[in-house]
């Protein structure tokens, strides 16, 4: 049993190591950042990004009931690796670079951060 788990973890780890994938994420992140800036309207930013071919996974919307800020998640078109799926499933926090971007704005729609 431990032998199978070890093999599974090795396979998941190897599936998670892909420098080409990291390059795609970096390029997509830079492309998104070149289209929008802090201070822009988040709703206009969504339209710009969709026009440039980005997918929007969420928002812009209030992520909590307190409605303190708006959030939008930009899809870079990269699927999570086997290791990332495994970590998420078992509840392990990942320090890897994100495969999507998070844009936050004031309740009025002014962008305050681009992650």
Domain boundaries of the chain, sorted by first residue: 2-114
CA distances (Å), 85 to each of 9, 13, 34, 97, 98, in order?
Answer: 12, 11, 30, 14, 13
Confidence of residue 95 (pLDDT cuts 50, 70, 90): low
Is it the case that residue 79 has pLDDT exceeding 70? yes
Those residues with Cβ within 8 angstroms of residue 100's Cβ, 6 or more apart along the chain or in another chain: 57, 73, 74, 75, 76
Share above pLDDT 70 across residues of the chain, in percent, rounded to a whole number: 83
**Cα 115 to Cα 39: distance, rounded to the nearest angstrom:** 14
Structure confidence by residue, pLDDT tens digits, 3-32: 677 666 665 555 555 677 778 888 888 999
The torsion angle over the Cα atoms of residues 87, 92, 94 and 99, rounded to 10 degrees, is 50
Mean pLDDT of 35-48: 96
The pLDDT of residue 41 is 97
Residue 26: what are its φ and ψ, rounded to 5°?
A: -65, -45
Kindly report the pTM of this predicted structure: 0.73
């Amino acid at each position: 049993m431990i032998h199978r788990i070890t093999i599974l973890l090795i396979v998941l780890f190897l599936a998670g190591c892909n420098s080409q994938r990291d390059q795609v994420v970096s390029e997509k992140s830079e492309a998104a950042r070149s289209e929008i800036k802090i201070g822009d309207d988040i709703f206009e930013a969504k339209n710009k990004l969709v026009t440039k071919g980005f997918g929007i996974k969420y928002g812009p919307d209030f992520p909590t009931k307190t409605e303190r800020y708006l959030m939008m998640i930009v899809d870079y078109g990269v699927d999570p690796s086997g290791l990332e799926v495994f970590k998420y499933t078992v509840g392990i926090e990942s320090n890897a670079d994100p495969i999507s971007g998070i844009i936050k704005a004031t309740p009025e729609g002014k962008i305050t951060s681009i992650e």
